[in-house]
Amino acid sequence: MEFEPKKIACLPPGQLASAFAVHLSRLGHEVRLGFRTPEAAETFQRTHRLPDDRRLPNIIFPDNVKGVYDPKELFDDIDIVVFAPPAQRLREYLERLSPYWPNEAFIVVGSKGIELHTHKLMSEVVREIQPQVSRLAVLSGPNLATLIAQGKPTGTVIAADKADVIRPIGSAFEGNGFVVEASRDFIGVQLVGALKNVGALATGMCNGMELDDNAESYIARLALQDITRITLAAGGHLLTLLGPAGFGDIYLSWAKQATRNFKTGVRIGRGEPLEKVFATTETVEGLYTARSAVELASALGVKVPVLEGVHKILIGELTPYQAYQQITEQRFKVRR
């Protein structure tokens, strides 16, 4: 099949959307990277680097990535939008861009979270704000932004509730060692991708408390059980937990200790004050998803002791060690 370059907008210029801008441009697509200020767009055009170089250190963007500030220019005649703001700010971005939103384009959401208070998945927020969007998909998997930008091989899953939405997006993304799997489990892929961030906090806390590998692995197993309960109760599929959004992303986040959520859990486990942890400039989705996860589990009528323990730690009700004791004592009582 002959390659057909697409016009693709990536925004905002955080780690993930920027990394995909690099990847997609290397495949030959015309890519526009959306900035919030004209000064940032001008700086990018001049240097071909992100204004905040800490997001993707030492990455020089290809010439076919254009920095754009004007939303009209960003979305003009666009084929695909890669949209990956912090989960709790997705609604804000959508509302701000609503007058310009390209409803006929394919929309790929890379944000992983559950909206606070509403308990809505990212796709549900998009459809609430932009009900005209019909070509909507989500992307999830072991996708560390720095490695994608460096061109390292990996795989991901693109999920949608319509098969004819997945194929064009997958063909645009696949190549140069980047493998795309397809899924119709729209709910499950989003839930697992969001909830594994809370599990990463839990395993990170175990590491920070200097519990041994046995204890950390046991808590990881219980956290996976919590995630499975919520996913199945909400209508997700068990096989999703074995795919890129499930085991693939969980292995990267929990076992390889490579993500911000795990590293933040380590800080909490070592006793760093919560106010300092929450003041971090980086987005750590699990800090906010924990509350949504516990509230969603309650609404679904399922028990999630590890996720609940993380939530209680984050609101100051328990210390990490108290939560660990509570979880393990509950398991002992159940099995007696």
CB–CB of 307/294 below 8 Å? yes
Q: Output the six-digit token pair for 69.
A: 């500030």
Strands (E), 61-101: 65-68, 80-83
Which residues have a Cβ under 8 Å from the Cβ of 174 and sit 6 or more positions away? 180
State how far the Cα of 52 lies from the Cα of 37, in Å rounded to an integer. Answer: 13
Quote the CA–CA distance of 108 and 160 in Å, as a whole number: 9
Q: Is 5 exposed, middle or buried (0-12, 13-18, 19+ CB in 10 A)?
A: middle
Helix segments in 112-238, DSSP class H = 122-129, 145-149, 163-173, 186-208, 213-233
Of 112, 152, 196, 303, which one is the catalytic site residue?
196
Amino acid code (one letter) for 153: P
* Helix, strand or coil, per DSSP, at residue 218: helix
The b/e string for 22-55 (b: 16+ C-beta within 10 A; e otherwise) is: bbbbbbebbbbbbbeeeebbebbeeeebbbeeeb
Task: Report residue 59 CA to chain centroid gap.
Answer: 21
Q: b/e map of 266-285 (b: 16 or more CB within 10 Å)?
A: bbbbeeeeeeeeeeeeebbb
Q: Residue 54 and residue 218: Cα distance in Å, rounded?
A: 34
Beta-carbon count within 10 A of 314 CB = 20
196 annotated active-site? yes
Q: Which two tokens stand for residue 58?
A: 């030492």
Q: Three-class SS of residue 114?
A: strand
Catalytic residue list: 196
